[in-house]
Chain A
Amino acid sequence: MSGKGTGASVAVVPQSTAASPELETAPNLTSAGITREAGVIASPSPSEQAPHADAAQTKEIAALEAAQRRRSRGKLARLLSEIWSFRLSYLFVAPFMLCFAAFIVVPVGAAIVLSFTYFNAIGRPRFIGWQNFQYLISQDLLFLKYALPNTFKFAIIVGPGGYIAAFLLAWLISQLPGKLRKWFALAMYTPSLTIGIAMSIVWLPMLTGDRIGYLNSVLLRLGLIDVPKLWVTDPSYLMNSMIVVTLWSSMGVGFLAMLAGILNVNRDYYEAAKIDGMKSRLQEIWYITIPSMKPQMLFGAVMAIVTTFKTGAIGVELSGVNPTPGYAGHLIINHIDDFGFIRFEMGYAAAISVFLLLLMYASNKLSWSLFGSKGDE
């Protein structure tokens, strides 16, 4: 934004000499900088302020219009003219922003509104204040006894655990010679391609509860267990099976981003550190690798959080029943489904989703502050 307020880089188009004094007083329009026909640039350092270079004529029209509006210029008018001068930017942004608003912003807003109502999907929503939330945190036994602790256990192991594992694997792979890297990266990444419904199918033959299940068969043969374990239907094993399967598939795009980040770190830093007396690879990771790949670390963290909450339905898929046996794999996201799509208590379901959104927001804030502080060092 070096050109802001200098007003020096006016593109002087011969026909518009009359308009140019106005141009100089309207700083947001003076920065056209480039015109194809005229090509005369008054200043050697062109401004970056309104970087899109339209055809000269549209600029002129805009400038003239701005000049006309000049008399009634207040703060609002200036803002409007600034917005107008960036109209191309808004055009660029519009397609995404419209979808974004329609399918994310509005639904989140609607969820917040609905969470204060009683809504059964048939009648009109009825405003009931904080009742949903009060019930949720004081009386909903299924939520307090199963969904909440299960979610915490699942998220804490799968989230940070998967994240650290992804970083370690990415670092280990980065230490290998070039051609091998590609294949190991592929091997680590492949499981995450089975995300969703395919994931449970891949694992089910492994974890089937009778002796035909592959894991059971191996353990039986090794003599580690006497009877086949019901890995996905016994409440005491279901959660662990969920965690293993999710961890297995967690080397996703976040892992790839971190790998790219590690590989992009400037080699000179390591050389310099070696000269300065840095000895161990651990020191290298802590003082050079992580600080210089902060954006990728953050991206990896965000991806870890998203996938952790996204794969929440894995328990239902593995055990094949909803709710899961003994509520052992009951996570908050299953609780939402339970109320939203089985009992049709949409208002209450919305309250639970707002709660989950707050949880996700908090965990995201945590990772944000984590990497923010490390960057300042």
Chain B
Amino acid sequence: MVQRLLGLRWKGSRLQAMDGFQKLLTLLMIVMSVFMLLPIVYIFNHAFKPYHELFVYPPAFFVREPSFQNMNELLSVTSRSTVPMIRYLFNSVFISGLAVVFVTGVSALCAFPISKHKFPGAKLAFSTILLTLMFAPEVIQIPRYLVVSNLGIMNSYFGHLLPMLAMPIGVFLLKQFIDQIPDALLEAARIDGANEFFVFIRIVIPVCMPAIATVAILAFQNSWGNVETSSLFMLDDEMKSFAFFLSTLTNNLAGNVAMQGAAAVASLIMFVPNLIVFIILQGKVIATMAHSGIK
């Protein structure tokens, strides 16, 4: 615990325990990490740069006088339009929250019988899911639009949520994990008188928590960054998501730099929740990996 608090000292003592290969590797990975994180650090700085710093030459990497000027600009853009920014944000938060809960729930419910029940049609269902696994929904936008408009869920939250529920990758991933649960474990519970719902909630879900966390990450990313449902299925501006708002903000950004600061702030708003969700769930993934003992 003390070592954990004194992170640096702890790291130092650990460094001495590593062999030469690992030391070299750590160095290499640090360089890699810097490269990977550079644009992100940059955008963080960019978001807080006042105008006169945004366009100086030579461009500075770090912000010198942090300001909320860009934040104000972003807010003023939305105050001129009819829909306040907060409404877009609310839509995104609301849809993403629902999507995470329902995608994980629905996918797990589907993966469990496919893996363990062997009902007639299970093989067919799974091979269909496998087949569609690699179909990015972007490819079939037009028929999807026709389906959504025929179902009468245009311009409603169902129009956001329902298309996202069909996430084959979630079922695939969960099924792969549930396959590794020994049948004997489930059978033991059944002998003790547990019904299938109980088995599902008390055994299957806890054991495949890593997969659930991964599916939750995927579902969140999917819905949080989703522009498709907003631009195609939503008619009114107040039903659209923040990601969509951001995409309208950045049209033609390459040609004109006027909105760069505001765009940087907006992309931070897009990015930070993703990061937070991941950090929370990453801990869960690692913890469960260590304790669940799937193999």
Contact = CB atoms under 8 A, between A and B. Distances in A.
Residue in B26, B253, B264, B286 with the greatest tally of chain A CB atoms within 10 Å: B253
A180 B17 CA distance: 13
Contacts of B22: 175-177
Contacts of B295: 264, 266
Interface residues of A, number: 117
A217 B55 CA distance: 12
Given A89-B119, A104-B132, A364-B133, A202 B40 contact: yes
B43 A190 contact: no
Interface string A285-297: 0000000000100
Q: Size band of the B side of the interface? A: 35 or more
Interface in A39-58: 39, 41, 46, 48-49, 51-55
A172 B31 CA distance: 13
Interface in B189-206: 190-191, 193-196, 200
B252 interface: yes
A177 B120 contact: no
Contact of B254 (A34, A110, A320): A320
Contact of A346 (B142, B163, B225): B142
B207 interface: no
Contacts of B226: 196
A193 interface: yes
Given A172-B29, A177-B22, A208-B257, A340 B141 contact: yes
B1 interface: no
A331 to B, nearest CB: 11
Contacts of A169: 32
Interface stretch (B68-76, B82-90, B164-172): B164-172
B119 A83 contact: yes
B275 to A, nearest CB: 6
Interface string A85-111: 010111011011101101111111111
Interface in B227-274: 227, 243, 246-247, 250-255, 257, 260, 263-264, 266-267, 270-271, 274
A320 B169 CA distance: 31
B13 to A, nearest CB: 11
Interface of B: 11, 14, 17-18, 21-22, 25-26, 28-29, 32-33, 36-37, 39-40, 42-43, 46, 55-59, 61, 106-107, 109-110, 112-114, 116-120, 122, 125, 128-129, 131-144, 146-148, 151, 162-163, 165-166, 168-169, 171-173, 176, 183, 186-187, 190-191, 193-196, 200, 210, 214, 217-218, 221, 225-227, 243, 246-247, 250-255, 257, 260, 263-264, 266-267, 270-271, 274-275, 278-279, 282, 285-286, 289, 294-295
Interface of A: 1, 33-34, 36, 39, 41, 46, 48-49, 51-55, 79, 82-83, 86, 88-90, 92-93, 95-97, 99-100, 102-111, 114, 169, 172-173, 175-177, 179-180, 182-191, 193-198, 200-206, 208-209, 211-214, 217, 221, 232-233, 248, 251, 253, 256-257, 260, 263-264, 266, 295, 299, 302-303, 305-306, 309-310, 312-313, 317-321, 333, 336, 340, 346, 349-350, 353, 356-357, 360-361, 363-364
